[in-house]
Amino acid sequence: MIKAIIFDLDGTLLNTAPDIQFVLNGALQHFGLPPVPIEKLHAMLGDGAYNLVKRAVPQDKQQLVQAVYEYYCPAQAAYDNRLTCLYPGEDEALTRLKAAGIKLCVLSNKPQAATRNVCAQKLGKYGFDIVLGQGQFPLKPDPAGTEHIIKLLGIDKSECIFTGDGETDYLTAKNAGIECVSVLWGFRTREQLKSYGASLFAEDYTNYLQILHEKFSLRA
């Protein structure tokens, strides 16, 4: 029986891409660098702010990566995330999961300050039990953050599943030895996820609840 779900943040719980683009392009502009269009941004997301900045900075300006990163992180942490929103059907899904007694957790490669900030702004009403961003543990797909959450909850690995939109999330679950539901409303396609081995997919939050019921016997 599932007692807890660990969610990825960007592209899974929240559509943060427009706000990430706004803050990132502000940092790039500060150093006289060209902006990143939204259609290219999606492929850059998933494995932490430093790697995002490194990909965004032109190859001939890589000496500026650290400076842009140090400018970007506090700007992102302080930002009001005005364009960030939940996905269709998510409000009902999270409300039902919480009412069913499921422990809701976040594990993100976004820096801890920014993770806590956006979760407080956009997800506070759902009472997430644990919110963990980059800083204390190695980045996903290292399983340390996942294993720490499971230990804090005092549950067995078989009682927890991971949910995320990226290959990093699937590999995190695989490395931690837990099941993963890969979602298709985020920043990766089914084909991209399948190439890494993902095999369980949710089309939307309604379908996600159906999967939890049918595969994991979770009634919410």
Complete domains list, the chain, with CATH: 4-15+85-216 (3.40.50.1000), 17-78 (1.10.150)
Give every strand in the sheet of 160-164, ordered side by side: 130-134, 103-111, 4-7, 160-164, 179-183, 201-202
- List the catalytic residue out of 8, 10, 165, 169: 8
pLDDT band at residue 188 under the 50/70/90 scheme = very high
pLDDT of 1 above 90: no
Total-model pTM: 0.93
What is the distance between the alpha carbons of residues 30 and 103, in angstroms, rounded to a whole number?
A: 41
Q: How many residues are there in the chain?
A: 220
User: What three-state secondary structure class fits 185?
Assistant: coil
pLDDT > 70: what percent of the chain?
A: 100
- Is the preceding omega at residue 143 within 30 degrees of 0, hence cis? no
CB 7 within 8 A of CB 13: yes
Helix axes 65-78, 17-30, angle to 10 degrees: 130
User: Catalytic residue at 8?
Assistant: yes
Q: What is the pLDDT of residues 195-208, one digit of tens each?
A: 999 999 999 999 99
Strands (E), 81-218: 103-111, 130-134, 160-164, 179-183, 201-202
